[in-house]
Structure 1
């Protein structure tokens, strides 16, 4: 009888990805201290360091994992999680008994604690408080909150947000950011306890102080995993909850909110001013709008100022007011022109929308031509309204400015829809031909002309252009792959020439490239009826590269 632990190897592979799954297989024997509970498994995995891992299966069968390695702290199901999962699957037959034993232990512990006299239980708690500083900090804060000792609550909240215990040389590194985030989250718990205990006014003040303290600390934290940023958002949410409960002065709250949203804290704390409507009331909202407008007029190009104004106007203003905000600082990328056009469309003013889009196209910086959102919008409008020639003209102008493969494809798509591609194509290719002649030989990107000819399926012209000496290696490889069935004698020298420079390079990724080229060469030899010649070539290559053991393994894996 097959025993289920709630997940399979396929679940591990799907959640981790192929790379982490394969690497996790190599760590299966590094798993130790495996513990089984109802719905979760924990263990230690010896990697670069000794990592703590926990994987869990919820009631709906969803698998999740957590590991304190750097990759795991980013929220990924890492190779160590895979290793623990594989270890559990290997020992699946033991899992029911271990779960039963864990349940029995938990029940026994609960019964024992219930049976202890009050003094013994208090002694046990005091013993743990002495040993566990983190537990002591949490209990001190809860005790101060319960007895209404505001100075101690404020001091403990500040202490929880102090990064000094986690900082090396004044900086909290990536590996320590998660632990700091866990400690800081206790401040959020304390604030919500205050709110629940009817002391929301104090929670308003402390949450603002906490956000300011966390912002100062955040500048010196490597928060790539986002764990500290999550605490910042929880603090902001706690502040809003406290305001809803305490109903502080609406004018003062509006002034604080503008300072908060326009200050440097905005890099860490995001908030929607509209969420504060019921807290601010009519007077507070008017003050908020007044202060936001004044700040925006002083600095119309400021990102935070624009964002705040846009949000307020979208919530309670007119489309013309919103357009005024956008128009005060038009972007050379065309994004603001496009935003205006879409707002006008939504307001049922399509003619004005088209005018703004066409103005944006005229003002669009050259670096953003050949596939911008503004061009996409105009082409869609022209096509929908029966103006295919104008749509093609937009793509043609974009391609002439930015002669990329993407711009070529867009022009082709539009011209085909109009039925004029056969007329457009020669001129477009001539422009790319001029670019190729100017750029000369390339071993990196290669001329767009070759990519365009390949994309058109014009392999003969693409091969001739490549033979003129301008193609990059990746373009030659693409061509060889495409013609090897019909022209193996032409494709074979390409594969062999691409292998030669790789012989001097080490590394598994390079070895995989060699194997991939050899497979292409083998296919050519098969089509030519010269398989023995290929076998001799591989034998010579193996003899020449025999000291590269990983290369030999890769060749073996591919049957070469």
Structure 2
């Protein structure tokens, strides 16, 4: 129990999931304590989820939950809820653990004392009551006696969506049940490998992969259950190959076909390099040869490029990795950046810089260039004390995009190079020209106002907004800046912004409205006209009295 604390639960789950878990305490049911430091329970949320919390495992406190977030390996809110429930009952846990251990020992002793006939009778009774257990044992029996035809037929039955699909499609509500049934295929194939029939297991697992790939298109697998089955099949295939040692060339060809998506739709994610010990030198030569041929035939194919990159990196061949990327350069410079980073990692900075510069030169449109490439190149120029080139690149990028962000980046570079005043004048001239040419009704205010505000040049920003226009967000920011010195101007902005809100409903609207009322009250206080504000609020209350949440919010703020 030492590892089960609120602090550890919060650390594992994160603040957000921890707080959400508090809200699920009443949803925890069926808490069962095991004798080996685990607790299981059900948590009822949008669905019923099964949770297992390990209190004293080798890695400390841990847990599993079958909710979508938990299946991704996260410590979810349901685990938090069970953990907090256990903490609340911690005084009785030692006795519950002792009782669980005693029950387990009693059960083991009882089973050990039964005769063979009594055990068979017990198993037959359970098989008669539990259909899933019967199916699992039927598969094991067929695997044990080497009845491949029966195992193949049973695998096809398990992967058939028919019993779960009303109209040829497995709905979300039935997807997990189908996946649970399909998962029995993995254990059946593992049983074949374990009983010395690994060669047969290879054949059947490949057939199962194709069947699963065909079924997935007709299943709402939003929670990824079939992905888990696919991963299990991939593991079963690798284990069977290691046991059977198939022909290296045949295996290499199959792996290439699988990696290129010719055999399924990627549900069983297999890395050919995991088979390095099975392929041996001969198989690896064939694998690399086939990969190169596939890539040369389709240099822009994602699967072909990924496979080639994976093989090249495994050999530490940086030039081969670069060749793969260089054969399909993106017009926005992203691929040039990938190459530059690979060369930097390989400690070849001069070549990396050349590729980054080439990416900028070859970009068809600097406005659409990968901004990460611009940042990367500017960082390299700055590190080399090439500040003039940093400013030039930031200037070119700003001229192409003319946003607040590119303005800020140009300002930072120019200040470092001690040339900001001249750069600022030219940059603002471009932004002013853009503001004057803005089309009416265009979404968002002019970047000129944002840039001047970011420069803390409030008066110039107010003048620009007056002359070229601004959106409501910008006017609100301007009013907040001038409220202390020009309350009349600020008041005019607030009154204009509040008017359309009075015709809308919703708590978010009411919060905005009250926020503006507080600003309006401050303006009247500065103008020494509180009675005018009182009259405004009285009239507003009369007109909005049916909006009870608004009235409550105004009361809370003494409005």
Map 1:142-157 onto structure 2 (within 5 A).
Answer: 142-157=140-155
Q: What are the superposed Cα offsets for residues 398-428 of structure 1, whole Å, 9 maximum, x if unpaired?
A: 1111222222222222222212222211212
Q: What are the superposed Cα offsets for residues 362-399 of structure 1, whole Å, 9 maximum, x if unpaired?
A: 22142764662222222122222221111111111111
Q: What are the superposed Cα offsets for residues 72-100 of structure 1, whole Å, 9 maximum, x if unpaired?
A: 77777777666666666666666666666
> Counterpart of 2:65?
66
Q: Distance in 2 between matches of 1:268 and 1:445?
A: 43
Q: Report the Cα offset of residue 32 of structure 1.
A: 5.3
Contact 1:13 1:21 in 2 (8 A): no
Partner of 2:160: helix, strand, or coil? coil
> Counterpart of 2:168?
170
Q: Report the Cα offset of residue 254 of structure 1.
A: 1.0
Q: Report the Cα offset of residue 454 of structure 1.
A: 2.6
Contact 1:442 1:470 in 2 (8 A): no
Contact 2:360 2:366 in 1 (8 A): no
Q: Report the Cα offset of residue 16 of structure 1.
A: 7.3
Contact 1:251 1:287 in 2 (8 A): yes
Partner of 1:254: helix, strand, or coil? helix
Q: Distance in 1 between matches of 2:125 and 2:538?
A: 71
> Counterpart of 1:260?
258
Cα RMSD, aligned residues only:
3.9
Structure 1: state its 5+ residue gaps.
Answer: none
**Change in 2 beyond 3 A, CA 1:300/1:5:** closer
> Counterpart of 1:428?
427
**Change in 2 beyond 3 A, CA 1:447/1:98:** farther
Q: Distance in 2 between matches of 1:201 and 1:483?
A: 81
> Counterpart of 2:396?
397
Q: Distance in 2 between matches of 1:330 and 1:210?
A: 38
Q: Report the Cα offset of residue 267 of structure 1.
A: 3.3
Contact 1:488 1:528 in 2 (8 A): yes
Q: Distance in 2 between matches of 1:532 and 1:108?
A: 84
Contact 2:367 2:400 in 1 (8 A): no
Contact 1:522 1:534 in 2 (8 A): yes
Match of 2:226 among 225, 228, 247: 228
Q: What are the superposed Cα offsets for residues 211-262 of structure 1, whole Å, 9 maximum, x if unpaired?
A: 2222222223333333322332332233223222221101111111111111
> Counterpart of 1:412?
411
Compare 119-128 and 536-545 and name the one that shifted more.
536-545
Contact 2:387 2:413 in 1 (8 A): yes
Partner of 1:330: helix, strand, or coil? coil
Compare 353-362 and 109-118 and name the one that shifted more.
109-118
> Counterpart of 1:307?
306
Partner of 2:437: helix, strand, or coil? helix
Contact 1:24 1:81 in 2 (8 A): no
Q: What are the superposed Cα offsets for residues 246-293 of structure 1, whole Å, 9 maximum, x if unpaired?
A: 211011111111111112535333333222222222222222222222
**Change in 2 beyond 3 A, CA 1:330/1:123:** same
Q: Distance in 2 between matches of 1:524 and 1:450?
A: 23
Contact 1:442 1:471 in 2 (8 A): no
- Number of residue pairs aligned between Structure 1 and Structure 2: 554
Q: Distance in 2 between matches of 1:153 and 1:192?
A: 12
**Change in 2 beyond 3 A, CA 1:226/1:464:** farther
**Change in 2 beyond 3 A, CA 1:326/1:221:** same
Contact 1:5 1:92 in 2 (8 A): no
Map 1:380-529 onto structure 2 (within 5 A).
Answer: 380-442=379-441, 444-468=443-467, 470-484=469-483, 489-518=488-517, 520-521=519-520
Q: Distance in 1 between matches of 2:170 and 2:286?
A: 39
> TM-score, normalising length from structure 2?
0.83
**Change in 2 beyond 3 A, CA 1:530/1:142:** farther
Q: Distance in 2 between matches of 1:496 and 1:174?
A: 51
Contact 1:75 1:225 in 2 (8 A): no
**Change in 2 beyond 3 A, CA 1:295/1:495:** same
Contact 2:64 2:71 in 1 (8 A): no
Partner of 1:386: helix, strand, or coil? coil
Q: Report the Cα offset of residue 304 of structure 1.
A: 0.8
**Change in 2 beyond 3 A, CA 1:40/1:498:** farther
Map 1:196-211 onto structure 2 (within 5 A).
Answer: 196-211=194-209
Q: Distance in 1 between matches of 2:18 and 2:274?
A: 41
Q: What are the superposed Cα offsets for residues 489-508 of structure 1, whole Å, 9 maximum, x if unpaired?
A: 54455445434333444444
Compare 328-337 and 246-255 and name the one that shifted more.
328-337
**Change in 2 beyond 3 A, CA 1:124/1:461:** farther
Map 1:65-464 onto structure 2 (within 5 A).
Answer: 66=65, 109-110=107-108, 112-114=110-112, 116-264=114-262, 265=264, 267-316=266-315, 318-366=317-365, 369=368, 372-442=371-441, 444-464=443-463
Compare 241-250 and 265-274 and name the one that shifted more.
265-274
Contact 1:257 1:273 in 2 (8 A): yes
